[in-house]
Amino acid sequence: MRESKKVGSRQRQTQQPLRRQTFSYYSSRPAQAPQSRNESRASAALSYKKRSKQAGSSYVTSLLVLVRPIILLGAAFVIFQLFALSPDATIHAHTNGDTVTLNDAEKAIYKKQVDTLLKKSLLNRTKITVNSKGIAKQLQAAHPELLEVLLVPPVIGSSPIVTITLSRPAAKLNVAGHTYSIDQNGFIVASDADSAQLPLIVDESGTLPRLGEQFLPGTTVTSVLQVEHQLTAAGLGVKGYTLPAANPYELVVRLNDKGYAIRLNLKADILQQCGAVAATIRHLGTTEPKEYLDMRVQGRAYYK
């Protein structure tokens, strides 16, 4: 019995070193514990935000690359509108008195001269350095019919605005069926005369006038205005005046509702002739001339 126990005990002792060590989870786990599920989600969300931020930054950069040229072009356009001045004037015409309309061809005459003056100097190509007064004076010197010229650079746009004030029309001039406005100095103001109260002068020379040019001597227009005033004051309504082509110093006057013509001499005293006309008509009474009443010789009256 003792031996058997000893043997069994010895066997157990010899077998004991052969026993495998028990596996321990904590002894075999890595040095750093894995993240929890919540921490993993937070880390993924943070990574997504970083990627989104990087993508957004890249999009903004691309957008700036596309928009920047447009911004630069817009800024250049604004600067051009603010400072640049083109030699392409816009003409606005006014009159000092009666209404007169300039047609496109007549406006083009003034426009062409203004544009030429603008092109003469580079300083006239900007709103800041343009010589507005100098251009206005030169235009007035070329066109005596202009009482005032005002050149103003526009606030928006590059076309300068030129406002011209024409001298007041003194009479209407009819040449070859065309009617013009003429001022007291004999300059053609416009091709259209709207005022029916202006005296009508018919020129039979057939030479068509041009805007801005002196077509009649100032003394001729002044004489017509004096005749108009004197005969109207004497109660004699005047229908119109004619300048015959054959005699440049003769003025033919026709009265309202009268079939005869009154002949006056533009080289003689026109006021004296008007007084003689009124006195002769009163003297004749109902015995009116049938064809003409000639007052061209001073101190004499001829009628037929």
CATH code of the domain containing 179: 3.40.50
Cα separation of 296 and 263, whole Å? 6
Residues 127 and 179 grouped into a single domain: no
What does the pLDDT read at residue 68?
A: 73
166, 197, 232 - which closes a domain: 166
Cα separation of 186 and 222, whole Å? 9
Average pLDDT on 184-193 reads 82
CATH code of the domain containing 98: 3.10.20
Q: What are phi and psi of 250, to 5 degrees?
A: -105, 140
What does the pLDDT read at residue 300?
A: 85
279 or 63, greater pLDDT: 279
166, 182, 202 - which closes a domain: 166
Give the CA dihedral 81, 84, 86, 89, nearest 10 degrees: 70
Average pLDDT on 178-200 reads 83
Cα separation of 160 and 114, whole Å? 10
Residues 158 and 223 grouped into a single domain: no
Residues 212 and 230 grouped into a single domain: yes
Is residue 160 pLDDT above 90, yes or no? yes
pLDDT classification of 1: cutoffs 50, 70, 90: very low
Assigned token pair, 209: 């006038």
Structural domain range at position 142: 90-166
